[in-house]
Structure formats: C-alpha cells, structure tokens
A and B are shown apart, each in its own frame.
Chain A
Amino acid sequence: MIRLVGSEIFKLRTTRTFYGVTLLPLALVVIIVVVASLTAKFTGDSRDVLLQLMGITGLTQIFTLVLGILAVTSEYRHGTITPSALVVPDRIRLGLGKLGATLLVGLIYGLLSGLLVTLIGLLLVSSRNIPTEATFSHAAKLIVGGAIATALYGAVGVGIGAIIRNQVGAIVGSLIYLFLVENLVGAISGLDKIVPVYGLNGAGTALSGTGTGSTDYLAQVPGGLVLLAWAAVLLAIGLTMMRSRDVTA
C-alpha cells in the first residue's frame, strides 16, 4: 500500500495541473491575507485576528477537493486508468492509493497554508500595533483543524471523482453544490438549522474552527466527525462503483 500511495503522489506531482491547482490558490490566499492584515480594522466582532485570517484558507481547502477529483477523473479522461488498473487490478486498492496520496498531500498543503497565514498575518497585524490576542494553543487548534479539514476535503474529492468520472462535470457539479445548493437549501426555513451546520461547508468550517456570524457551528471535533462521515459515505459509494464498472478506455 505504501508503494501505491508513493506512485499516486508521483502521478500527482508529475503534471503541471497539480502545481496550478495548489500553488495558485496558495498565492491568492497569501495576497488576500497580506491585504487584509494591512487594511482590516479588527474591532468588535472581528476582534479575533487569527480566526478572521484563517477563514481565508477555505480557498485552499476547496482546491484540495478539486485535487482529489482530479486524482481520479484525470485517469479516466486520459485513459491512464487502463495502465493503472493493469498494474493494480484490484480497483478498490487503486482508489485507496489515491485516497492515501490525496490525504497526505492535503494534510501537508493545509499545514503549509495555515502556517503561512498565521505567520504573515500576525507579523503584519502586530506591525500596525493592533492587539492580536493570539495564543499558541489557539493558533495550533486553527492550523491543525484546518489541515485535517483540507485533507478530508481532498478525500471527499476522491469520492466524488470516483462517482462522477467526467472531470468537468465533477468539478463544476461540486462547486455548484458547495456555493449554490447548500446556501439555497440552507436558507429554507426548517433546514436552516441543519444544512449550514451539517453540510459540507458547515462541517469543514466547524473542523477548521473558523466559524463566524450567526450560524451555530459544531465544535471542532464533532464538526470533524461530520466531515469524516461525508468523506466515508462518498468514498464507499465511489470505490464500489469504481470496482464494478468496466474499464473500457
């Protein structure tokens, strides 16, 4: 299994897409953090500087979901699923290799973006003589929670990619779901206490510990368990489909 994960990580890092999907969003996050740190007032409800800034890493989390989708769908798009399945005939193992690679890359990516945001943000905000009220344990909770959320979003992506093999369809569908469907459905009275809390967005926000506003988010650990459940269900469906479907190209 270790060599399988190694092969999948190698697959990811030997295409340019990987760098586009990871480095560009990271650069964007850094730019937004720099601008926010230098201009935001950080008073009243937004007094918790770190919590405000870490919310920006939601962008890298979404792109890790896209990376997870790509790990599966690019194999179907380019037909490399055939040589991959020849080397690893058990397609459940093949999918688990992709899951392992995506989790590992997501964790490192999440830690990296969390650390960058924390360091740059605190440095710039304190240079403006604004009290950050940051403690080590508060920062650690946000960085670790954010990194695990990033990894789990990647796992969700692997599951979605295994269900919807069409690359564009899977990515566009996921983004529409995340940005449109959950928000619309979450606005319906009766569901407004459920979807924003237990949905993909809400669970990720809860695990990251970056919830703000009026929504009553779960605590980090229960939020993480809900996100884990999302990933587990999607992966169970996706890997089962991956095994039973014929590999025709």
Chain B
Amino acid sequence: MAAMAHAIEVSGLSKRFGEVLAVDGLSFTVDEGRITGFLGPNGAGKTTTLRMLLGLISPTSGTATIEGSAYATLHDPTRIVGALLDGGLFHPGRSGRNHLRTMARAAGIADRRADELLELVALADAGDRRAGGYSLGMRQRLGLAAALLGDPRVLVLDEPANGLDPQGIRWLRDFLRSLAREGRAILVSSHVLAEVSQTADDVVVIAKGRSVAQAPLAEIMASSGGGMKVVGPDTGRLRELLLADGAQVSGDVDLLVRNRTGEQIGRVVAQHQLVIAELSPIGSSLEDIFFELTEASGGPS
C-alpha cells in the first residue's frame, strides 16, 4: 500500500482561523521526480496548507499525507521530508553550522552532514558566522541546507526564491531540477509565477483557499485562449455593459474579456463615452493565465 501512495496527497483540507476560512476543501497530489509549483497570490492559503502538510498546524478538516502517512506519525521525518518555511528560521546568535547541528543531533545525524550541506549550498566559508548577519540569499540557502539534512525523498519549499537575486534564482532553479532528476518529489510555492514557470512540471493554483486549477504546466499553457485586457477608470461600467451583452468577463478592476475582439469592445466604449487607459490583446503568457485564474475566483460568480 505504502508503495502506491502519492509522495504528497492533500485531500479535502480545510483550516478555519476564527472567522476566516484560510484553506477551503483543497485537494491535490504530488509525485516522485516531478516539481509541482504551488501558486497563488499572497494570502491565498499556501503557507497554511504547507504547515498543515508538515504537522505544524492542525487542519479543521481533511487530511494531508506524505507517502501515505500524516507527518506527525512519520518515524524519522527528516529522512522522508525536508522543508523550508519562511526563508528558514534561525536564532540570529547561532552560527549556520551550529543551526544545522542542532537539527542533526535531534535527528541522530552526524555533525559532518552539516559540513557537507554547507559545501553544497555554497556557504562553507560563512558557516561559522552568526546567522543574524547573513544576507537574505544566504538565509534561503541555509534553509535549503536544513531541508536536505536527512537526504529526504520529498521536499516542501515555501517561497524559496524570496529575496534571491537573479543569479540566486537561477542557481535555485538548477538546484531544484537536479534534485528532481534524482527522483525526489518537490512541492514549491510561489506568488510569482515566473519563478516556477521554468522549473515546474505541474502546477496547483489556489486563490482564497480554494483550488482554481491543477494540471501539468504545458496543458495549462495550451488551453489558454488569450482574450482582451481592459484597464481604466470606467471598467466597472464597461464590465456591466459587456456582461449584459453576453460576454465572458473576469476581473473587477482590470478586466479580461474572452469572447470579444478589441474593436467590439472599442465600440461599446465609444458608444457609452467611457474612459479607458488600456485595451490590449493577451497572449498566452503564464502571467496572464495566473491573473485570470486567481482574479476570476474573486468575482461575484
């Protein structure tokens, strides 16, 4: 049975914080050897979902399992799952090397693994300095080293590219690719699509705690039909007019119109003397698909 289980399986997962339903009936799976991008705007519920998956937050309902077991029941979690949350969290007065050692000792892993990992993430020279003095990029790399401590088969990375410079993002992308080639399952969250568009095999897009799309990245790219984007002060009125005319419109402020040409929209604008600032065709760029998917769920539908 265990061999049949998905590397990660989230099923009907919900979390309520007081009045706020942060995650709402979310389900998805992640498999070995693939990088799954976990996308959504800030506040969509990504971190809460990952923390539930890692046994840090108890779900209100639903389950999240790793290789078929809840995180809390894993016998030797560091050897199965590695995680990076909030850019790695360190005591500012403790050196990077000692941070890794505190975790290694609790997990029964030899101290020299900390040295190997510092080497791997190019922090060997800074390993003995206090982590409080590390740059954002160095912290992310130390956090990645901590995630790899037990040479885990599954990696859960929350916004690992945050604070990285373009060089660092490239380094991260190559690093994740090589980890996936080794057969690991990687779930990587981001609110910036470009970061994962060149790395991910599959994407799960969420907005307001709900899944709005999940498919292989290539499939999502292909299925996007483009459309017209309208920006400006009178888009609210334009939206009503277009909807009344049977058009498919998504977005509240910046509109995305699916089944009207630029000229058709222009005529409506002229006829009703509306002011708009931009009217442009949308290619099938991932950014636009992302915008469309996450904005659409915010509408009154």
Contact = CB atoms under 8 A, between A and B. Distances in A.
A97 B88 CA distance: 22
Interface residues of A, number: 31
B57 A246 contact: yes
B212 interface: no
A6 interface: yes
A3 B105 contact: yes
A78 B102 CA distance: 15
B56 A87 contact: no
Contacts of A216: none
A89 B58 contact: no
Interface stretch (A10-18, A42-50, A111-119): A10-18
Contact of A7 (B58, B86, B92, B105): B105
Interface residues of B, number: 33
B95 interface: yes
Interface stretch (B71-79, B251-259, B288-296): B71-79
Contacts of B94: 11, 14-15
Contact of A4 (B71, B81, B99, B106): B106
B98 interface: yes
Interface string B17-40: 000000000000000000000000
A74 B91 contact: yes
Interface string A74-113: 1000111111111111100000010000000000000000
Contacts of A10: 98, 101-102, 105
Nearest to A11: B102
B103 interface: yes
Interface of B: 51, 54-58, 71-72, 74, 77-78, 81, 83, 85-86, 88-95, 98-99, 101-103, 105-108, 146
The 9 tightest CB contacts between A and B, nearest first, are: A79-B89, A7-B106, A7-B105, A247-B56, A246-B57, A14-B98, A15-B93, A89-B72, A87-B106
